[in-house]
Structure 1
Amino acid sequence: MADHSGTPRPQGSETRNEASERSGSKYPEVPTGDTRFTPPAPAPSNEVESLEGWGFEDTRFVVKPDGSTVLTGTRYNISNVALPDLMPWFAGKLASPLGYDNRNEPHYPPEIPAARKNDKLVAALREFLAEDQLTDDPKQRLRRGHGHTGGEIWAIRYRKVDRVPDLVVFPRSHDEVVRLVEVATKHGAAIIPFGGGTNVTEALRIPLSEERLVIAVDMRQMNRILWIDTVNRMACIEAGATGRHLMSELAKYGFTMGHEPDSLEFSTLGGWIATNASGMKKNRYGNIEDLVLDMQVITPQGIVERPQQAPRESVGVNPRQYMFGSEGNFGIITTAVVKLFPLPEVQRYGSVIFPDLKTGLSFLYALQKSGAVPASVRVMDNTQFHFGQALKPAKHGLAAKLKSEIEKAVVTKLKGFDPYKLAVATIVFEGSKEEVEFQEKTLYRIAGEHGGMKGGGANGERGYQLTFGIAYIRDLTFEHWAIAESFETSVPWSRAMDLYERVQRRVEKEHAAMGLPGKVFFTGRLTQVYQTGVVIYFYLGFYAKGVADPVAAYAALEHAAREEILAAGGSLSHHHGIGKIRRGFMNDVYSEGALALNRKVKAAIDPDNLFAASNSGVNGPVALTRDEEAH
């Protein structure tokens, strides 16, 4: 029987047991009818996110007078412990004087542009929105006017943002979004959807040519799970649900969506769809386009929605496909129906040390062909390995120090690995006991055939979980005169190592040609694997003290890296998206016919450009100068 009372019906319900008893079979029959239920709404969260940097307000890296670094708070496995080697390591890599006494003091908030006003529009919105669902507070408007590129965070801390939304609205239902779009259309306003604000593509930057009142639609109060179907393993979830809340709520009923991007804690379901996102456990659960069965989208032409969902269909051109990677250009995603997976019976971590990155790549290639790819397997280059070492607390006590020295001796003496060439794989196994045992046995056999050495489960877990803590590092480096950012690509197996090496040589060459201080910071890791290739995720940075325009210099350096990626056979992006940073390269990856098609789709869906994000070049010519990219 269907239960929409709001009371969760657990797996192994009475309906299943009763059906099994009636049939006389030892196996339960498939329940019939509507098997959905509506879970109770979660309690409101009291977690406060930072307005001036990454993450939670109570969490940031701080350099102490003794030179050690501490991550404040208690959220992560490196929180609230002294990290004596981190800043000295960064200083060495950048060949620059990073340290406690060399501080680039932020000046947040910057000067914030005054809001455009439209009293009639606000009055129309107040007819169906509560007082606390609208604000023109300057800091709140500023936060919805930027994402998390290095240039944007540098701007709000050290410069200014020239254009921000004029009004922020917080809808709480699909129907409120429908009415909001109607009001904005009637009163000549523009709309930019806002999810978690975690993008690194300048997707939220408002074009300076936009003269209309701009409404930022913050979706995060639409964060409920509307229904769960444990039989058919689906759920309907509002698009503003952040990854951390979505996963914790689904886990209460024994399920996961399995989508874990680096930004999991703060990015939203709607944002994942709009950027065509990928997660760290893609190997097991799939990318976002594999996980989403259906969605509701409010467009200027009406509501895109379906009466029901099927496992797979051939129904002509499905309008929902336009929404994957749409980047806010076509409408607002309000809900999505997604696939669910039972929480894994077994979850184990592992790690393997290889003599170098090239060997690690060969290992991944053989592993992919074996059919035993675990939920997550990532191979870090030597720089990222040492970065991880620098994030370890000081060793205390004779036993801990002795253990560390023995481990180093085994790797460098017994195995003969060069500590300045070796690479490390961190691994997450998930599934049934049998699946995990098969994956472990196969993976470690292949690793051994490639000269790999087991590094232990503790190191694997630490490496995986560090992903969330180290996201705060970028903001720390800004405060000590370094600017850095990440970018990514996917590339065929046969071109992967060449691409990595070419990008490294190119950024080193450009850094020197530009006369930038110290040495360029460059590192990469091999992340998600496919039958046809692999993803490479890069970090790039440099010491910026004395540089006239650090943001423009970084933009030029990353622009050169992206040129080299394309020349070496890599994709323009794997999961970050296009936004405005990459749209100048669209002519290199699409034919004019393809670009014209996208522009005509935009013109047909949104002829008045109500959704005015202007991402991906759908509004017209896509060529940009470097100065425009570094805006």
Structure 2
Amino acid sequence: PNLLPWFRSVIAIDFSVQDEDRGEYPPPVPASRPAPDFLAEVEEIFNGDQITTQPDIRLRHGHGHTVSEINAVRTTGFARVPDYVVYPADEDQVLALVEAAARTGVVLTPYGGGTNVTEALRCLPDEERPIVSVDMSRLNRIEWIDPVNRMAKIQAGATGRAIQAQLAQYGYSMGHEPDSVEFSTLGGWIATNASGMKKNRYGNIEDIVLDVTVISAAGKLERAHVVPRESIGLDPKLWIIGSEGSLGIVTSAVVKLFPLPEARRYGSIIFKTFQQGLAFMYDMAQEDKRPASVRLVDNLQFQFGQVLKPASRGAKRIKSRAEKWLITGPMGFNPDQMVAVTLVFEGSREEVQYQEKRAYALAKRHGGLKGGAENGKRGYLLTFGIAYIRDFVLRHQILGESFETSVPWSQAQELIDRVKRRIYSAHEARKLPGRPFVSCRVTQVYETGCCIYFYMAFYSRGVADPVGVYHEIESEARREIIAAGGSISHHHGVGKLRLPFVSDIMSPGMISWRDEMKSALDPQGIFAAQVPLNDHEPASRQ
């Protein structure tokens, strides 16, 4: 109940909480383009329930979860969505589908969980060929588990939660837990070069995946067997990881397994300033045995988390008030400056005890104070709900989204300061109502640097083309990130949304090499997830 009143104070707009716009769903859906030759071939491959032109299904397969896409779903819809959605049930059907696409001149777009935030699924309006979305949800099995070598072969359409549940029955985990784990798939993780919140213990997706099987324009890409590591010259597996569906369709992968942790504990630490918290994060990154997850949120996100806490009652309420008085009074923590770190400790009991001891010793060195396990667990789990909250406040004309980067430690604080200033300046220059919501958190950490998430939102009622304005401001922020030494993405990927920025980080020769590799490996452009870098405008601006 406190969320919307808090937002009113942050953005300095006294909007009515009863003023709610749920949009109109479904929006208009363009008619499916005819593809008689393709249909004639796929009817020999698929059963009747494996192909559809149903408008609402085609609509869902034509967008991800950027704010512009969610807004379009609620309002005007899209100029172009997939013309057909197909549901292959096995690898042979995927191979036959790709061969049919090559013969009949259609475009294939792999579809996993639809959770991307890069407009990767958004169809370019000027694509004249029929577009086919390849929904991988029926390739969702674990094919085998090797407990001796701790490996498993998993089909690409399996969602994160399903993988977790099935592996847990045998006492194992992949350890990969992105905030989209509810819906995102193994194939999507590989295609975007994903990173999970527990990467400190288990690694990023490129560390976990041992091998991939892919159906490409040239046929099936697979190895004879899987080994711990090998040196084979040019390695197609490395090209596929992060290729975002532009080189083929991932059908399965062999991944590392980890025994389920004997112990899991949550923790939290509060610091008086963001600078203290960032110094703690740097020292923690140099530790040889870090917590599975360690994340620093700035003051605004700390307040956000407090607003979402359920109200305490009785003795618990008295204790909470006493703790708040002690922290903000005698101990000198300013509620408008203090920040928090949430931690997840996993491993054997001895490992967890060691991690906790080291983390809290480092925190004390930087002026930190334990915040309790309950706050740590709540802060960690809140991440899974951010997208739902974003969609909820959108009903009240608050347009918001996240974007992320990675940067060396020596440039992290400067990058954060510059990006926040740039957003405030861009908001003021456009004379937008109220104040912008601008916040950040430091998530994945490395010895050499960290990932930084930004959250940006503004009140959009009365703003002409609010989605266009949002992307203009985000583009300014992205250019500031690049100027401050950051990457265009740590793990979200490029898609169509960030493709124009690739030329800011790659030399002309590298861009040419990238485009020519795509042309050589997919000469017909069957997997048209992206277009040549030199010819691109963001899909949201077309």
TM-score band, normalised by shorter chain = over 0.9
The aligned counterpart of 1:61 is none
Report what 1:77 is aligned to. Answer: none
- Per the TM alignment, residue 622 of structure 1 is displaced from its structure 2 partner at its CA by 5.2
How far did residue 396 of structure 1 move? Answer: 3.1
For residues 381-420 of structure 1, what are the structure 2 equivalents within 5 Å? 381-397=298-314, 399-420=315-336
Hey, what does 2:347 align to over in structure 1? Answer: 431
Cα shift at 1:630: 3.6
- Report the secondary structure of 1:271's partner residue: helix
- Cα distance in 2 between the residues matched to 1:514 and 1:341: 51
- Which amino acid in structure 2 is aligned with residue 379 of structure 1? L
What whole-Å deviation, never above 9, does each CA across 1:97-136 have from its counterpart, x for those lacking one? 3443211231111111000122332232122212111110
- Cα deviation 1:196-253 (Å, max 9, x = unaligned): 1100000011111111111100001110000000110000000000001011100100
Instruction: Show structure 1 runs of 5+ residues with no match.
Output: 1-83
> Could you report, residue by residue, the CA deviation over 1:14-57 in whole angstroms, capped at 9, with x for unpaired residues?
xxxxxxxxxxxxxxxxxxxxxxxxxxxxxxxxxxxxxxxxxxxx
Which amino acid in 2 is paired with 1:561?
A
Counterpart for residue 205 of structure 2 = 288
Q: 1:304 aligns with which of 203, 217, 221?
A: 221
- Asked if the contact 1:586–1:622 (Cα under 8 Å) also holds between the matched residues in 2, the reply is no
2:286 aligned counterpart, secondary structure: helix
* Contact 1:87–1:98, Cα closer than 8 Å, also in 2: no
Distance 2:238 2:184 in 1: 21
State the shift of 1:265 in Å: 0.6
**Match in the other structure for 1:441:** 357
Residue type of the alignment partner of 2:525:
N
Check whether the contact 1:98–1:481 (CA below 8 A) recurs between aligned residues.
no
- 2:39 is aligned, of 92, 102, 122, to 122
Find the partner of 2:78 among 161, 171, 178: 161
2:422 aligned partner = 506
- Structure 2 counterpart of 1:490, one-letter code: S
What is the 5 A alignment of 1:476-555?
476-555=392-471
2:384 to 465, 468, 471: 468
- The yes-or-no answer on 1:366 pairing with 2:283 is yes
Q: TM-score of the superposition, structure 2-length normalised? A: 0.98
Contact 1:585–1:623 (8 Å) recurs in 2: no
Task: Provide, for residues 319-361 of structure 1, a one-character-per-residue CA deviation record: whole Å limited to 9, x for no partner.
Answer: 1111111111111000000000000111110000011111101
**Displacement after TM superposition at 1:629 (Å):** 4.3
Q: What is the aligned counterpart of 1:186 among 90, 103, 107?
A: 103
Aligned residues: 542
2:138 corresponds to which of 209, 221, 225: 221
Aligned partners of 1:356 and 1:421 also within 8 Å? yes
Which secondary structure state, in structure 2, belongs to the residue aligned with residue 538 of structure 1?
Answer: strand
Matches of 1:624 and 1:167, distance apart in 2: 25
Asked whether the equivalents of residues 133 and 171 of structure 1 are also in contact (C-alpha less than 8 Å), the reply is yes
Matched, 1:265 2:178: no
Does 2:516 correspond to 1:600?
yes
The 8 Å contact of residues 159 and 181 in structure 2, kept in 1 or not, is answered as yes
- Matched position secondary structure for 1:494: helix
One-letter amino acid of the counterpart of residue 205, structure 1? R
> How far is 1:623 from its partner?
5.2
SS in 1 for 2:534: coil
Q: Determine the structure 1 residue equivalent to 2:6.
A: 89
Who is 2:537 aligned against? 624
The 5 A counterparts of 1:104-115 are: 104-115=21-32
List structure 1 runs of 4+ shifted beyond 4 angstroms.
none
467, 484, 500: which one aligns with 1:584: 500
Q: What SS class does the counterpart of residue 341 from structure 2 fall into? A: strand
Q: Which residue of 2 aligns with 1:41?
A: none
Q: How far, CA to CA, are the matches of 2:450 and 2:214 in structure 1?
A: 32
**1:584-609 Cα deviation digits (max 9, x unpaired):** 11111111111111111101110010
Structure 2 unmatched ranges of 5 or more: none
CA contact under 8 A between 2:500 and 2:533: conserved in structure 1?
A: no
Question: Which range moved further: 588-597 or 89-98?
Answer: 89-98
1:414 and 1:371, CA in 2 relative to 1: closer, same or farther beyond 3 A? farther
1:50-100 C-alpha deviation (Å, 9 max, x unpaired): xxxxxxxxxxxxxxxxxxxxxxxxxxxxxxxxxx21110111111123443
Distance (Å, rounded) in 2 between the aligned partners of 1:624 and 1:181? 27
Which amino acid in the other structure matches residue 330 of structure 1? Answer: L
Distance in 2 of aligned mates of 1:589 and 1:238: 34
Q: Deviations over 1:249-307 (max 9, x none)?
A: 00100000000111011100000010000000011100000010001100111111001
Whole-angstrom CA distance in 2 between matches of 1:98 and 1:480: 8
Quote the residue 2:249 is aligned against.
332
Identity of aligned residues (%): 54
Which residue identity is paired with 2:155? E
CA distance in 2, matches of 1:255, 1:415: 44
* Deviation for aligned residue 1:620: 4.2
Higher mean C-alpha displacement, 590-599 vs 100-109: 100-109
Paired residue secondary structure (2:69): helix
| 2-structure distance, mates of 1:172, 1:624 | 35
TM-score w.r.t. structure 1 length?
0.85
Query: Within 1, Cα distance between the matches of 2:74 and 2:192?
Result: 26
- In 2: Cα distance, 1:276 partner to 1:598 partner: 17
Deviation at 1:366, TM superposition (A): 1.1
Cα displacement (A) at 1:176 = 0.7
Deviates more, 1:306-315 or 1:361-370: 361-370
CA–CA distance in structure 1, aligned partners of residues 38 and 82 of structure 2? 15
Q: 2:491 aligns with which of 564, 571, 575?
A: 575
Tell me the secondary structure at the aligned position of residue 204 of structure 1: coil
Amino acid at match of 2:11: L
Q: What amino acid maps onto 1:415 in structure 2?
A: M
Superposed counterparts of 1:142-157, under 5 Å: 142-157=59-74
Whole-Å separation in 2 of the counterparts to 1:98 and 1:530: 42
Give, as a single letter, the amino acid of the residue that structure 1 aligns with 2:118: T
SS in structure 2 at match of 1:165: coil
**Cα distance between partner residues in 2 of 1:430 and 1:390:** 28
Please report how far the alpha carbon of residue 369 of structure 1 lies from its aligned counterpart in structure 2 after TM superposition: 1.7
Report if aligned partners of 1:365, 1:493 keep a CA contact under 8 Å in 2.
Answer: yes
Which residues in structure 2 correspond to 1:53-68 (within 5 Å)? none
Paired position in structure 2 for 1:35: none
Q: Distance in 2 between matches of 1:182 and 1:370?
A: 50
User: Within 1, Cα distance between the matches of 2:56 and 2:128?
Assistant: 21
SS of structure 2 residue aligned to 1:180: helix
Partner-residue secondary structure (3-state), 1:414:
coil
Partner Cα distance (2:139, 2:16) in 1: 43
Q: What is the RMSD of the two structures over their aligned residues, measured on CA atoms?
A: 1.2
Whether contact under 8 Å (1:587, 1:622) holds in the other structure is no
Instruction: Report the 3-state secondary structure (helix = DSSP H, G, I; strand = E; otherwise coil) of the residue aligned with 1:203.
Output: coil
- Partner residue of 2:192 out of 275, 290, 306: 275
Check whether the contact 2:499–2:533 (CA below 8 A) recurs between aligned residues.
no
The one-letter code matched in structure 1 to 2:534 is P
What is the Cα deviation at residue 434 of structure 1? 1.6
Q: Which has the larger radius of gyration?
A: 1
CA–CA distance in structure 2, aligned partners of residues 565 and 410 of structure 1: 38
Corresponding residue SS for 1:348: strand
Contact 1:583–1:622 (8 Å) recurs in 2: no
